[in-house]
Amino acid sequence: MKIVQNRKNLFLKRRGSRPAAVPSDFYLTAFHENINEIPILREARAVYAYWANAELLVYPEERIVGFFNADESAGFHYGGTWVKGKGEIADAVRACGYKYLNPNIFNENELLQIEAHASTSTWFAGHGVLDFERVLEVGLAGYRKEIAQYSRNDFYVALDTVLDGVAVFIRRLATIANPESAAVLTHIAKNPPETFHQALQLVWVLHLLDNNDSFGRFDYYLRRFFEAETDRNNAIDLLTDFWCKIEAVEEIQNMTIGGDYSELTRLCIEVTKELGFKGPNLCLRVTPDMPEDIWTAALDCIGSGIGLPALYHDEMYTNALIRSGVAADAAANYCFAGCSQIMIPGQCNFANDIGMFNVGKLFELSLYGGIDPASGKQVGVKTDTDFTSYDDFYNAFIKQLEYGCELQASMHNKDLVERGRVDGFALRSLFTRGCMENGLGFYEGGAAYNHVQLEMIGITNAADCLYAIKKAVFEEKKLTFSELINILRSDWSDAENWHEYFCNLPKFGNDHEEVDTIRTEISDYLYSWFNLSPGPFGGFYVPGEVIFTAHEHCGAVTGATPDGRKSGEVLADSVGASQGMSKEGSTALMNSVLKLPYADYLLTSVALNMRFLPDMFNTPRSREGIHALLRSYFLQGGMQVQINVCDVSTLKKAQENPEHYPDLIVRVGGYSDYFVRLSKGLQDEIITRTGF
């Protein structure tokens, strides 16, 4: 598309010429002036001061406008209020905000698991999706009228203040934008949008002020505006400019499309392919009757090598939400945030991605009676270290899992309440249904739906390890359990033959019934345990296997394991096989994953990373084979799949000469990124993934 390329060229031309950010402390000063107010009000006044005064950046050729060019000394992100620098004011503000894993709220057992990176948390308070659909329907003025219906206590004063801040920010942009954009901004500051341009601009403003997280069902809520736009070239140009704004942020920004398909769905995919950027993190809801033109666009985009879109089994997610108690209309409107975390847009706080449950580390603890060999501390529950049967060892492992699950839920129930106690989450409280009606903030249980989502890392490793112990120690009696432990303690040193033997034992991802059964049993235990565990605001725990980059740092703290993995190496990627261990082809890998019991539970997602060689997309016959494979996977109950299209030689060349491959994109753990920006550990992990 020439329109897309022209817009891309304008973006690339200005990309390296951004002026230096202007130092400021508007947020810090306002927060300190209101330090004795309730958290949501002091935060609302602080973000208002920032939005109303901080330096802005608008380029003359932009049609979708809005960026800050300020170097603030403090601000709010979804990990809480952050503060740079020192001094009395900075220290006072810092003391008020959320403290990551505050040791004062956890007991000794919880702190031990946190320290060992077994059951732990992430620093931020989860992803979110604002109520874009309703904002586009009623506009900012509609929210003003709704707030006015409630008594004037501090909570509603805070919501009003946030709304004032949004409007002031829009009006400030209008004063420095080109005439076309200024007219658009002036309209949406007071009225609901009427045109595609106005709707896109309002969505961008709220997305920017919400710290650039997730757009929700983009093609769904914008469809009526797009279809009313008679000039398709104009619409494509606007869409492309919007995509360039996303690229400029350089963060993971999720966008869900599909389920209900339109021309806009197809254009979202085609613009993504034509631009060749790493985002938006496009998630395509796939139904059995998805139109062929959408399939064609999706396969074209995937085949270009950018790893987008990822594909999701629409019915499976909808049904799981309905079974969990979500109203049918809300469930049908689900979307994704972050990498692939499920959400009800504008109606939920699912604390997405807030928990990190290191199953690989918990397995390691079961080898040593609950003692962490890295520290020598009793991190897990005390269990035996001398086993007479595989069942004895398996039961010890389950005891470690149960203990870890209990601590994971306990620490997060405390942690989530603590976040709501010290921070206000003002913007999300305004634009999430239920908060205003209930008079409760986003982290006080105000949202219509509340769950707690966490990710589980290393289940595949644990399954491969259990099979290895079962086969080598208790069935074939190749060595004793204590001999295996000594080898692991030495990190396979002077044990090359044993290392080769354990590496070559059957692994998950090859349609091997016995290994797959073990993997299924562990998954079923964890999915069930967490779904039955209540959260602090009325929901329950929603586990998943969308691990972002967590398999790297969770592996770094986990010693050598019986699957042949050496100490500190990355753990298995999401729901797939361990790196390089899927040796029987793509169908066998999918068959292994299809045995897992995810259809019976509410999960955030179980992400299946696959890598195909570029030649597979270059001929009609092989491409049709991939199309048929994906269709079959979903018809048989597959949940999610994301595809890298690249070859090992190119990846290795990019690792050796990164300056020659700045635009090489790969799929990581639920998102796409530029290969050369990844750590060497993640690069190596992607290189060793099996290609088909």
Say yes or no to pLDDT of 691 above 80.
no
Residues 259-301 pLDDT 10s = 999 999 999 999 999 999 998 999 999 999 999 999 999 999 9
Q: Are residues 571 and 615 in the same domain?
A: no
Of 575, 590, 623, the position where a domain reaches its end is 575
Q: What is the C-alpha separation between 254 and 260, in angstroms, rounded?
A: 18
Q: How many structural domains are present in the chain?
A: 2
Q: Are residues 285 and 267 in the same domain?
A: yes
Say yes or no to pLDDT of 661 above 90.
no
Residues 502-512 pLDDT 10s = 999 999 999 99
pLDDT for residue 580: 87
Residue 36 belongs to a domain: no
Q: Are residues 304 and 426 in the same domain?
A: no
Q: Are residues 459 and 567 in the same domain?
A: yes
- 591: pLDDT confidence band, cut at 50, 70 and 90? very high
Residue length, the chain?
Answer: 692
Of 526, 558, 575, the position where a domain reaches its end is 575
Residues 422-440 pLDDT 10s = 999 999 999 999 999 999 9
* Percent with pLDDT over 90 in the chain: 82
pLDDT for residue 241: 98
Say yes or no to pLDDT of 392 above 90.
yes
Q: Are residues 319 and 422 in the same domain?
A: no
Where do we find the tokens 């270059």? 618
Say yes or no to pLDDT of 598 above 70.
yes
Q: Are residues 541 and 655 in the same domain?
A: no
pLDDT for residue 515: 98
Residue 38 belongs to a domain: no
Q: Are residues 522 and 387 in the same domain?
A: yes
Please state which of the ranges 58-62, 403-407, 547-551 shows the lowest mean pLDDT: 547-551
Say yes or no to pLDDT of 692 above 70.
no
Residue type, position 72, single letter: E
Residue 166 belongs to a domain: no
Q: Report which of 301, 276, 275, 674 is spatially closest to residue 284, judged by C-alpha positions.
A: 301
Exposure on the CB side of residue 563, measured as CA atoms within 13 A: 30
Average pLDDT for 34-45: 97
Cβ–Cβ under 8 Å, residues 213 and 338: yes
Average pLDDT for 241-270: 96
Residues 50-85 pLDDT 10s = 999 999 999 999 999 999 999 999 999 887 889 998
- 573: pLDDT confidence band, cut at 50, 70 and 90? confident
Please state which of the ranges 190-199, 495-504, 617-626 shows the lowest mean pLDDT: 617-626
- Residues 574-599 as b/e (b if ≥16 CB within 10 A, e otherwise) read bbbbbbebbebebebbbbbbbebebe
pLDDT for residue 689: 66
Residue 80 belongs to a domain: no
Q: What is the C-alpha separation between 367 and 345, in angstroms, rounded?
A: 43
Token duo for residue 154: 């501090």
Residue 94: left (phi > 0), alpha (psi -120 to 50), or beta?
alpha
C-beta neighbour count of 281 within 10 angstroms: 28
- 651: pLDDT confidence band, cut at 50, 70 and 90? confident
Residue 543 belongs to a domain: yes
Better pLDDT: 313 or 684? 313
Global pTM value? 0.95
pLDDT for residue 629: 95
Cβ–Cβ under 8 Å, residues 546 and 607: yes
Q: Are residues 298 and 432 in the same domain?
A: no
Query: Which parts of 581-663 are beta strand (E)?
Result: 609-612, 640-645
Token duo for residue 690: 């099996």
Helix, strand, coil percentages for the chain (3-state, nearest 5): 50, 10, 35
Q: Are residues 318 and 344 in the same domain?
A: no
Q: Are residues 347 and 483 in the same domain?
A: yes
Say yes or no to pLDDT of 202 above 80.
yes
Instruction: Look up the domain containing 647 and give its range.
Output: 251-328+608-692
What is the distance of C-alpha 499 from the center of its chain? 35
- 101: pLDDT confidence band, cut at 50, 70 and 90? confident
Q: Are strands 609-612 and 541-544 parallel, antiparallel or unpaired?
A: unpaired
